[in-house]
Chain A
Amino acid sequence: MSFREKSAWICLASVLLVQGAYFIHIARLAAGGPLTTQAMLPALALAILVQAAATAVGHIAFSRQGAREKFDERDRAIAAAAFRRAYLVFAVALFCAVFGALEFESAGVVVATQLAYAAWVLAEVVKYASQAFDYRRAVSGLGS
């Protein structure tokens, strides 16, 4: 497995685990009463920091291999395809978030920001899953 493929899996795992835990936490908060900025903001900051740290630690573990590997045209093609798919998902999810926020206007700006943030997280998941899938397909024939 190449460093780039490992990188895609590390990013995918960290997004799923950390942001999954974040949204479970937010759902529990929301179940206990209206979401407030004071309750949401520290959790959001922590989720972003933990995800960055988890991704960094994962990459450091394979950094010696990565330093030797080139970023070649297939890596660029895989990255471009992943961005195209992720952008499409982000655009659709963001429109859903906008309409969701308008529909539940009474829920306030905190819920609107959570929906927008969820759209970005979903796009990140699609981006890294797309990269991981395309790297695996090229080697094992998965999905071809």
Chain B
Amino acid sequence: MPEARIENAIRRLRFEAGEMTQAALAQAVGVTRQTIIAIEAGRYAPSLELAFRIARAFDKPLESVFQYRP
């Protein structure tokens, strides 16, 4: 079975938010910068709660931050 992918638009959203740093986003959602790096690179799929917190940090709906690619 092929692995499902969760893609994200965090890099673009950070750019649109005035080049928000990974550290600033990490602080805003309560994780380490390394976790943001891993999520942004698609190497870690966040929990639903963290996904919502990230979406809230950008003031966007969840589906405009994360997309599921089966």
Contact = CB atoms under 8 A, between A and B. Distances in A.
Contacts of B44: 74, 77, 138
A73 interface: yes
Contacts of B41: 138, 141
Nearest to B35: A74
A76 to B, nearest CB: 10
Nearest to A1: B34
Interface residues of B, number: 14
B32 A2 contact: yes
Contacts of B34: 2, 5, 74, 135, 138-139
A141 B38 CA distance: 9
Interface in B38-67: 38, 41, 43-44, 46-47, 50
B30 A138 contact: no
A78 to B, nearest CB: 9
Contacts, number: 41
B20 interface: no
B13 interface: no
A40 B31 CA distance: 45
Q: What size tier do the contact residues of chain A reach? A: 10 to 19
A65 B15 CA distance: 28
Interface string A106-144: 000000000000000000000000000001011101001
A64 interface: no
A138 to B, nearest CB: 4
B38 A75 contact: no
A138 B37 contact: yes
A74 B44 CA distance: 8
Interface of B: 30-35, 37-38, 41, 43-44, 46-47, 50
